[in-house]
Amino acid sequence: MLDVILDSLLDTLKMFPFLFVLYVLIELLEHRTRVGSPSRALTGRAAPLIGGATGLIPLCGFSVMAAKLFERGLITLGTLLAVFISTNDEALLVLALSELSWQQRLLSIGLLCLIKLVLAAAAGYLADFFLRRRAPTPAPLPVPAGHEHTHEPAEHAHAPAEHAHAPADHTHEPAEHAHEPADPTHEHAHEHEPTHAHEHAHAHEHEEFHVCEHKHEGALTLYLLSPLVHALQVAAAILAVNFAFGTLFFLVGEENVVGFLEGAGYWFQPLVSVLIGMVPNCASSVVLAETYAVGGLTFASCLAGLITNTGLGILILFKNTAAWKRNLAVFAVLALLGIAVGYAGNALTLLF
């Protein structure tokens, strides 16, 4: 039991720096600072591809970061799905240190990363495409009453105006006298213009000073203390979940889980792997990778479970209980995709 506590603490400590940097980044992005200005990379056209590539990094903090960024509206649902699908947690490290030959290890890791990156990018772009199409288009502004036929009279209104200028060619003196009274007004307007400009510049300078002063006064709290408090709160929740699922695996026994996967049968393995992958913990990805390394799982079945597994990212997403329908939809997409890939891969293995 002591190992469970130590492992839970170690996993949480490894994730804490990511959480702190994440909340600092969120503050920088939300307050439109110069550091956070290149936020187009998070929402641009390449965002799902970048998210898929980021999820391949064998660290369990990126799925949590993606879930938090999505909740703040800083990335799209497609980018979130891409990160979730490509996330492997510690599976790549387990495969790299397994007893497989170096050719098998290289081939397994390469195929795993390539397939997951393609699936992640494709799912991300499709999700953003369909959500963009379903977004309601703004209705045209109503035309004010009485303005439906204003264009045609306006054209005719210019005709008399052209004829009205004809006599003006022979009446230069009245025109000159007509402009004389306007000169004082024009000069008077120029006299007041610098005054208003000076007042506006002074007010703008005064406003800038107060904004700058406010930023300097609250910078420590905004960009350091607040992210630290948020990171500690999330880390506490992650520690509790790590301890709960670590205890579950300890009571059940990792050997029993591996034996259960091995005895699931060829056509039940993808389904069982997906069920194991649903557990929001790094241990599930470790079990899937270890079982594949000892020959208890096919590659496609292992891939099915790793597609569904998002580490602790899905747990962070489910903290927003108000959006439970959306969260269930994301969870269902991951599970269905994992099952489909697992069964399709096993079928191809039998054929070839």
Q: Which tens digit of pLDDT belongs to each residue from 159-183?
A: 444 444 444 444 444 444 444 444 4
How many domains, the chain?
1
**pLDDT at residue 32 in the model:** 56
Does residue 68 belong to any structural domain of this protein? Answer: yes
**pLDDT at residue 304 in the model:** 96
**pLDDT at residue 82 in the model:** 96
Does residue 119 belong to any structural domain of this protein? Answer: yes
**pLDDT at residue 41 in the model:** 62
Assess whether pLDDT exceeds 50 at residue 296.
Answer: yes
pLDDT band with cut points at 50, 70 and 90 for residue 77: very high
Q: How far apart are CA 117 and CA 50, in angstroms?
A: 10
**pLDDT at residue 194 in the model:** 45
Does residue 163 belong to any structural domain of this protein? Answer: no
pLDDT band with cut points at 50, 70 and 90 for residue 275: very high
Does residue 204 belong to any structural domain of this protein? Answer: no
Q: What is the mean pLDDT of the chain?
A: 75
| Percent of the chain's residues with pLDDT above 70 | 70
Does residue 93 belong to any structural domain of this protein? Answer: yes
Assess whether pLDDT exceeds 80 at residue 121.
Answer: yes
Burial class (CB in 10 A: 0-12, 13-18, 19+), 331: middle
Assess whether pLDDT exceeds 80 at residue 258.
Answer: no
Assess whether pLDDT exceeds 50 at residue 197.
Answer: no
Q: Write the pLDDT tens digit of every residue in 219-256.
A: 777 778 888 887 888 778 778 877 887 787 778 776 77
User: For the chain, first and last CA: distance in Å?
Assistant: 46
Q: How far apart are CA 253 and CA 275, in angstroms?
A: 16
**pLDDT at residue 264 in the model:** 67
More confident residue, 191 or 285: 285
Contact 277, 304 (CB under 8 A): yes
Question: Which distant-in-sequence residues (6+ apart) come within 8 Å of 343 by Cβ?
Answer: 267, 270, 300, 304
More confident residue, 129 or 152: 129
DSSP H stretches of helix in the chain? 2-30, 40-43, 47-55, 61-71, 77-86, 91-96, 102-134, 151-164, 172-179, 182-220, 226-252, 254-262, 269-277, 282-293, 299-308, 313-318, 324-351
Q: Which domain holds residue 322?
A: 2-132+213-351
Does residue 181 belong to any structural domain of this protein? Answer: no
Assess whether pLDDT exceeds 80 at residue 340.
Answer: yes
Does residue 111 belong to any structural domain of this protein? Answer: yes
| 284 closest CA partner among 316, 306, 253 | 306
Q: Write the pLDDT tens digit of every residue in 139-152.
A: 444 444 554 444 44
More confident residue, 315 or 114: 114
Does residue 98 belong to any structural domain of this protein? Answer: yes
R_g over Cα of the chain: 32
Q: DSSP labels for 264-308?
A: T-TTTHHHHHHHHHTS-SHHHHHHHHHHHHTTSS-HHHHHHHHHH
